[in-house]
Amino acid sequence: MSVRGDKAKELFEQGYNCSQSVLMAFSDITGLDEKTSAMLSSGFGGGMGRMREVCGAVSGMFMAAGTVCGYSDPKAHEDKKRTYEMIQQLAGEFKRRNGSIICKELLGLEKPEGTFVPEKRTEEYYKKRPCSELVKTSAEILEEHLISADEKMSIKSE
């Protein structure tokens, strides 16, 4: 059971997009309030503005990961390298569990719908889309990663 996975799924089912749901599930540790998290990630839903590219749940996971474990000094080569490694590991785990990190592939679409207009969130919408489970999975993967990283850090400091 994952508290953050359940929170991300709950947020998605309240109407937040996939990216918002994942980033907001980590608001308590990113230092971003929920409004800022929602605004920052709002354009990444639907595979980036509903273009069906990189899954918004994956983008939200990356934003949360970068906020918690990323780098800010452009000259910090090793920090940059570690951040990119972390992102590739997170993407790899999501892909391993779901087959892809691309929205249209996850939704089984041949091509994007060709519109920027989001679908109404109805009971039918939730039945035909795997998005609730994908946001849950993204949050679980990041939560597992952060717990693992925290355990490694506590072992090093002993």
pLDDT-based confidence at 156, cuts 50/70/90?
A: very low
pLDDT given for residue 113 in this prediction: 81
Percent with pLDDT over 70 in the chain = 94
8 A C-beta contact, residue 6 and residue 143:
no
Q: Is the pTM of this model over 0.95?
A: no
pLDDT given for residue 153 in this prediction: 52
Task: Find, among 129, 123, 122, 127, the residue nearest to 45 by Cα.
Answer: 129
pLDDT-based confidence at 151, cuts 50/70/90?
A: low
Mean predicted confidence (pLDDT) in 47-66: 97
- Res. 130: pLDDT tops 90: yes
pLDDT given for residue 28 in this prediction: 94
Q: What is the rounded CA–CA span in Å between residue 58 and residue 19?
A: 7
- Which value, in Å, is the radius of gyration of the alpha carbons in the chain? 16
| pLDDT, mean over the chain | 92
pLDDT-based confidence at 152, cuts 50/70/90?
A: low
8 A C-beta contact, residue 57 and residue 133:
no
- Res. 158: pLDDT tops 70: no
- Res. 1: pLDDT tops 80: no
